Each structure stands twice: as C-alpha cells, then as structure tokens.
A and B are shown apart, each in its own frame.
Chain A
Amino acid sequence: MEFLRPASWEEALAAKAEHPDAAPIQGGTDVMVELNFDMRRPDVLLDLNRVTELGGWDTAEGRLRVGAGVTYTQIIDDLGGPLPGLAQAARTVGSPQIRNRGTVGGNLGAASPAGDGHPPLLAGDAVIEVESLRGVRMIPAPVFYTGVKRSALAPDELIRAFWMAPATGPQYFSKIGTRNAMVIAVCSFAVALHPAERRVGTGIGSAAPTPLRATAAEEFAAAELDWDGPLDETVAREFGRLVAEAAAPIDDVRGTAGYRRHALAVMARRTLTWAWQDHRAGSPGRGAA
C-alpha cells in the first residue's frame, strides 16, 4: 500500500488522476473501519487532511460553499445559523469523537443511503462541487446519489465542497434509532421551508437504495399550503402519506419496510408541523439555537 499526503488541492487532484483507484481519506470514520476489518485493501490511501482549503467555507453568489473536509463539530458550532437542518443532522451523528473527525465530504464519498448528511442536503437544494484535472462539475444532490453506496463521482474526481443557500425559513431533521447516540438511522427525514418561493424541500434517508427527495409531497405542499395561515391538519397528514409513498424501503436488521414507511409518514407530518409553527411565529427554527 502507498500513503500519499498531498499538501494542496492541485497536488491532490494530480494524485487522484495518477491513481484513480486511490481511496481518499479525511476523517477516516468510514475508511478506517474498512481497513481495520479487512473489508477493503486499496493500493493507495490519499490523505486529504493537509489540504487546508477543504476544511473551511466561504460565501459566493449568495450561497455557502462548504469544504468537503468540514467536520460535523464545525457544522454544529459554526454553521447552525445558516444551515440549521444540516446542523441538527450533524448533532445526531455517532458520538463527539466521531463528529470531531467525520466530515460531510466523507458522508458524500461513502454515499450510504443511511448517511445523515444527505436528507438536509436534499431538502436544502445542495449542489456538490467535484473536480478532477479535467475540470469542475456541479452536481445537484438529487442526481449525485446513483445507487447503494454509489455516486456520480468519477474515479479521477474528488469532492471539493457542497453549495447551499443559507436557510430562508425553518428546517428540521428527524431520525429513528434505538438510542440517542451512536445509531445508524432506521430511517430519517429532513424538511426545509422556502417561504419566499412558497415551496417545501424534502429529503428521505435510509428508506430506499439512495437518499431521495419526496417530489410528489413537495409538489402537493407547494400547491396546498396556505403560507399566511395555520397548517391544515389534513394537509400535514397527506404530506406525510406522500413522503412515505416516495420511499422504497426494505426489511433489514434495523427495521421492517412497513415500520419505515409508517415512521416516515409520522416524521414528515411532525417536522412539517414544527417548521410551520416556527414559520408562523416568524422564527428561523430550533436548529438555529
């Protein structure tokens, strides 16, 4: 095995072009488990920790550009205001030690359907910036995920950042698990209100081969919600039903398909209700605290 430690983004891209099979490693919270348990033996490990650009964020064109190496702890501590849904999801990841190392870029690289970063990225219209020596591609989150642990990333490409507009309305993330820490989601759901566009964004986790949006539920919400009035209970229920219908869950050790569908309908109705209460109160949502 080779261990490469590029000191800059350009060097990292050159290394990935030369070794398309190289396994990038950031927090290592997925990669090292695979190495420790002999589940993966890449010829080359490509350590990105020295690429300092990846660990920061800035604002461009009115959107946040968050480096692939930004950890969950940083998101919670520093980006909870503009990205409340993602910060809520980050708080549910693993343990403090895992959040200190694990990154959203690594979550995208692993592209697990259970990754907690994905639902809020989907609900918030995130775009993933990937790059190779051939150039930059901007991939909208819904088409980034292509299958179970598969993404649109080409072998010579690396994830540079994700782009997301700062929240203009309340956002919520909800996750089902056996305890309040250290759980892989049985299923999860994120909602984001976009009041200026009178639109609701959604993201479903761990209930289909890929994370996905509940498009029919979003369209229903856009058509039926009265943005100047209280939330109609029947609209909230139908929204939940449509979210559950969008999922394609399976039975596995963590839960049955039927349970997942039921839980999704409940989470979708509840998170929409919470978000609507904040919207009516004119507050940006609990995640901003």
Chain B
Amino acid sequence: MRVSFTVNGSRETVDGVWEGESLLYVLRERMGLPGSKNACEQGECGSCTVYLDGTPVCACLVAAGQAEGRQVRTVEGLADGDGLAPIQEAFIEAGAVQCGFCTPGLLVQAHDLIERSPHPSDAEIREALAGNLCRCTGYEKILDAVRLAAARKAAP
C-alpha cells in the first residue's frame, strides 16, 4: 500500500508498504532515516521513540498505515539546521553516550520532558525515561545530561 505523512517537516510518500509493517520499519528501511533504532520491536527499550503528532511513542508499535497524514518527528529532526539541538549538546558534554544505540530514543524522550516540564525533578526524569533502556552508561550520565539541558533551558 501507499503511505504518506510528514516527517521532520517534509511530506514523504512511499509505495509498496506491507500492511502489517511498523512506522519504524518505514522510517529506517524506506525513508532513509536510520536514526531511530530497532532493538526489541516490542515497546520495551524505547530506542525507536519518535514524536507522532507531538507525542512520544514507540515507532515499532505504530502500524505504518496509522501514520497516514500525520506528523512524525524523529531524532534527525530535533535540531533546526546543521547544528545540534541543546539536548544533543548536553548528552555529549555530560558523557551520556557510549555505544549510542539507546541515544536517539532517549534524546526524543528527554526533549519532550524538558518541553513539558522545564524544571524536572530527579523523580520526574527517572519516570520520563523509565521506558528507555541503556546497556552501557548505567544511566547516571544520562540523568546529568537531562539536568544540564533543563538548567540551560531555564537560564540560557
């Protein structure tokens, strides 16, 4: 089938999509956007997190046809131009990236948290990131990165 939706601001159309295919597969394999990662395909790891109409969701659990006509924003669309988004800068500075597999999903989820809650408590950060697994960092530096990004947003 044909599926058409807006991704990172540009309207994209792809043909030959299998009806049972996930949004994640379409993004990675058909639209050339491999930022969102495929690790578990069952909603457990969060590495495929994208915005769907402004709400963070697991792209592996959205049927491609359900995205028809809607707005998708992936990690590739977090920054405005060629530079990095503040949350991306903060991850690098805090040393929150090791192998990097979990990073795209964490960036989208953390981006959403800071947009909704400019002064998140540690409990709020943990709760917001509870669905994003990282096998490398032990999470401490990820928490540092989110605190740093939030503090910078509050006092630029």
Contact = CB atoms under 8 A, between A and B. Distances in A.
Interface string A186-204: 0000000000000000000
A181 B131 contact: yes
Interface string B12-32: 000000111010000000000
Interface string B47-84: 00100000111101111011010000000000000000
Interface residues of A, number: 29
A49 B70 CA distance: 11
A76 to B, nearest CB: 11
B49 A97 contact: yes
A32 B60 contact: yes
B42 A36 contact: yes
B61 A29 contact: yes
Interface stretch (A1-9, A110-118, A144-152): A1-9
A19 to B, nearest CB: 13
Contacts of A37: 41-42
A94 B19 contact: no
Given A28-B62, A28-B63, A41-B20, A96 B127 contact: yes
B61 A45 contact: no
Interface in A80-114: 94-98, 100-101
A98 B43 contact: yes
Contacts of B18: 1
B66 A49 contact: yes
A45 B57 CA distance: 20
B43 A29 contact: yes
Interface in A47-94: 47, 49, 73, 94
Given A3-B1, A45-B63, A182-B131, A97 B58 contact: yes
Given A47-B65, A95-B43, 5 more contacts: A2-B19, A25-B66, A35-B22, A95-B132, A101-B57
7 contacts: A1-B19, A25-B63, A35-B20, A95-B130, A98-B58, A100-B55, A100-B57
Interface of A: 1-3, 5, 25, 27-29, 31-33, 35-37, 41, 45, 47, 49, 73, 94-98, 100-101, 180-182
